[in-house]
Amino acid sequence: TYHGGILYPRPSETRQVVSLDGLWNFVIPQPNRPLQGFDEHWYKKNLKELTDVEVHIMPVPSSYNDITTNWKIRDHVGLVWYDRKFFVPKSWYQIGRVWLRFGSVSYASQVWINGRLVMGHEIGHLPFLAEVTDFLIYGKENLITVACDNTLLADTVPQGKVDTLETGRLVQTYNFDFFNYAGIDRPVTLYTTPKNYIDDITVATETDGDVGFVDYRISYISDVNVTCRVSLIDKKGNVVAKSDERDEPYGILEVPKANFWWPYLMDPNPGYLYTLQVELLSEHRDLIDKYSQPIGIRSIAWTNTSLLINNRPVYLHGFGRHEDSDIRGKGLDLPLIIRDYNLIRWVGANAYRTSHYPYAEEIMDLADEFGIMIIDECPSVDTEAFYDSLLIKHKNSLTELIKRDKNRPSVIIWSAANEPRTQYPQALGYFKEVINHIKSLDITRPTTIVEAQPVNSVYSSQFVDIISFNRYNGWYVNGGNLDVIPLSVVAEATAWHEKFNKPVIMQEYGGDTLEGLHFTPDFIWSEEYQVNLMSKHFQAFDQLRTRGFFIGEFIWNFADFKTAQTFTRVGGNKKGIFTRSRQPKASAHHLRKRYWALATQLY
Ligand code: GCB
């Protein structure tokens, strides 16, 4: 296992980055030979040369499921193979170190270069890397091969189950409803660092009046004596603070009259980012390595009734989302993510939860930049049984998530899980350890577990800082009876606060809606029904807000998304306020009125 930092690959005076995205070869083993390729050493030859299996062209990054016309690829369970050839410049020979980094491969993977195993990784939606300096042939063509397995079992994060049909075909089942997309779904990069290099950067910020404090810690690998010069640079390029003459790898920068990082709509200039420029210097003050990390200066604090950013209480209004779209599945797509942020800001949301797994770093960068507050969720969703082996992986997923996102100003809450079966007594020891684990890695942000069980049966919420609950009033509960909503929501949110004495967020509410379906009076699945379901919740939220402990409302979901095939889903989950192609339903206009009104009223 790899214990170093996971800094995003950025070019600099001392680093080069080359993308391996593009069209890869893709092969699925024959149905009766689920592990085909290992014995045959497919990683030692180009997949294109294979004759006993079909070789597809597969775009990277993308989920592989919806690219072809073959349902067996869409619904495949188990191993698949990817490969491509690439060149490594001759000038990289003895340049220092070369690294290979995947933004994510879902779910588990092994990676070979030129037929030699480089690394393996388990759990989707998280980056991993390895040094590949000695695996490459410089100035020549190289081969990279990835074996990827999407199987979810009792001890994977998230959990799933594999059954065998009468025909012998394997089928994957899981408790969560979003489609189990798989493949190399985020960018693949090759990049260089010098031999002695900056390995990781950890930043925590504080505010006092209009002064900002940046507490930094640099970890580096070096076999010679080095110092770390750290400079904080504002948007205009001015150095506003720098490390003292000792240039130690840790310290506190003081920024008078700082531009704080503010959430969207709370300030005319939200999401202000500085650049923390880190330089590794030799004894003779020669530059060895340089890395520039965007950071935001802001404070987070919380009480038993509120969450404060820069000492101002915030009210979170947003949604749960998914990385999901037509054809590419969970594959990173820049046009899509920019469209999404344009819609997020159009609708006046100031926050969302990365339900139900960590989102791509490119998506998180935009949240930092636009001032969108993020509840950052690890990939644990709908856990129904708690095992020690699962706990280890669940903690690993949090270690990797926090290592990746610790420096992001947008991340304001860590979510340890969505809708685990916390009514079982085993959940007590399990979540105590999960939350302690988060606290051992980051004490600057509050924690939550998103609960679906009733308030009096959970064995988990005593450990968290902020209570989160999901409830589908007017849908799974009292479907067709919208009039009950205000009472139920106010009663439940109040009960959560009274029992645990902590701030409360409603993380999910909503109802499926087929765009273009109209009924008056409203009728379930129609646009009118979704709009009225929302209005009833708004009534409840407005009452709750006067009680002082209610700090957020999140509609489920930002957009329609694909699910597994089942009779409860018409072409997927339709609880989006936007369609899957990112056009508004009536509900989006309705939500927009509320969110802008809230913003005007609050800030
Ligand atoms: C939930 C889950 C979410 C589902 C949603 C639904 O409680 O957290 O992942 O998509 O319900 O629509 O059923």
Encode pLDDT of 554-574 as tens digits.
999 999 999 999 999 999 999
pLDDT at 3 (0 to 100):
86
Closest among 269, 266, 353 to 312, alpha carbons compared: 266
Closest among 191, 63, 88, 61 to 143, alpha carbons compared: 88
The three state secondary structure string of 438-496 is: HHHHCCCCCEEEEECCCHHHCCCHHHCCEEEEECCEEECEECCCHHHHHHHHHHHHHHH
The DSSP bridge partners found for residue 276 are 232, 293
144 has pLDDT over 70: yes
pTM beyond 0.90: yes
Residues 220 and 274 in one domain: yes
Residues 290 and 160 in one domain: no
| Distance (Å) from CA 354 to ligand 1 centroid | 13
DSSP 374-408: EEEE-S-BS--S--HHHHHHHHHHHHHHHHHHTT-
Tell me which of 140, 173, 193 is where a domain ends.
193
Residues 456 and 425 in one domain: yes
Active-site amino acid positions? 419
The verdict on the CB of residue 508 being under 6 Å from ligand 1 is yes
Cβ proximity of 548 and 305 under 8 Å: yes
Residues 452 and 545 in one domain: yes
From the alpha carbon of 575, which atom of ligand 1 is closest? 12
Encode pLDDT of 151-191 as tens digits.
999 999 999 999 999 999 999 999 999 999 999 999 999 99
| Distance (Å) from CA 328 to ligand 1 centroid | 22
Mean pLDDT for 86-109 is 97
Rounded Cα–Cα distance for residues 587 and 575 (Å): 10
Rounded Cα–Cα distance for residues 52 and 199 (Å): 44
Residues 150 and 231 in one domain: no
From the alpha carbon of 512, which atom of ligand 1 is closest? 12
Domain assignment of residue 65, yes or no: yes
Residues 29 and 142 in one domain: yes
Mean pLDDT, the chain, as a whole number? 97
Domain assignment of residue 81, yes or no: yes
For position 405, which CATH number holds?
3.20.20.80
Domain assignment of residue 1, yes or no: no
Q: Which of 321, 377, 573 should be mutated for ligand 1, with most atoms under 8 A from CB?
A: 573
Q: Which of 355, 381, 383, 470 should be mutated for ligand 1, with most atoms under 8 A from CB?
A: 470
- Name the band, by pLDDT with cuts 50, 70 and 90, for residue 1: low
Tell me which of 295, 326, 345 is where a domain ends.
295
Rounded Cα–Cα distance for residues 493 and 497 (Å): 6
- Name the band, by pLDDT with cuts 50, 70 and 90, for residue 603: confident
Mean pLDDT for 43-71 is 97
Domain assignment of residue 68, yes or no: yes
Q: Which two tokens stand for residue 53?
A: 């299996």
Tokens 């085993």, residue? 426
Domain assignment of residue 547, yes or no: yes
Rounded Cα–Cα distance for residues 384 and 381 (Å): 9
Cβ count near 452 (within 10 Å): 20
The verdict on the CB of residue 562 being under 6 Å from ligand 1 is no
Total residues found in the chain within this entry: 603
Q: What single-letter DSSP state applies at residue 12?
A: B
Domain span at residue 453 reads 309-602
| Distance (Å) from CA 373 to ligand 1 centroid | 21
Alpha carbon of 4 to those of 14, 126, 133, 403, 434: distances in Å? 19, 15, 16, 9, 22
Residues 185 and 227 in one domain: no
Q: Which two tokens stand for residue 11?
A: 């070019």
The verdict on the CB of residue 470 being under 6 Å from ligand 1 is yes
Residues 222 and 288 in one domain: yes
| Distance (Å) from CA 485 to ligand 1 centroid | 18
Encode pLDDT of 292-325 as tens digits.
999 999 999 999 999 999 999 999 999 999 999 9
Cβ count near 247 (within 10 Å): 18
Residue 141 main-chain phi, psi, to 5 deg: -80, 140
287 has pLDDT over 80: yes
Encode pLDDT of 345-384 as tens digits.
999 999 999 999 999 999 999 999 999 999 999 999 999 9
Domain assignment of residue 75, yes or no: yes
Encode pLDDT of 496-506 as tens digits.
999 999 999 99
Domain count, the chain: 3
| Distance (Å) from CA 572 to ligand 1 centroid | 12
Q: Which two tokens stand for residue 337?
A: 């993510």
Mean pLDDT for 117-146 is 98
From the alpha carbon of 476, which atom of ligand 1 is closest? 13
| pLDDT > 90 fraction of the chain, expressed in percent and rounded | 99
pLDDT at 2 (0 to 100):
77
| pLDDT > 70 fraction of the chain, expressed in percent and rounded | 100
Model ipTM value: 0.99
Tell me which of 268, 295, 322 is where a domain ends.
295
Encode pLDDT of 193-220 as tens digits.
999 999 999 999 999 999 999 999 999 9
Measured at the CA of 469, the angle between CA 531 and CA 590, to 5 degrees, comes to 15
| Distance (Å) from CA 502 to ligand 1 centroid | 24
- Burial class of residue 462, CB neighbours in 10 A (0-12, 13-18, 19+): middle
Residues 175 and 214 in one domain: no
**Sheet of 239-242, strands arranged across:** 239-242, 226-233, 274-282, 287-295
Q: Which of 475, 556, 575 should be mutated for ligand 1, with most atoms under 8 A from CB?
A: 556
Residues 64 and 160 in one domain: yes
The verdict on the CB of residue 573 being under 6 Å from ligand 1 is yes
Rounded Cα–Cα distance for residues 435 and 427 (Å): 12
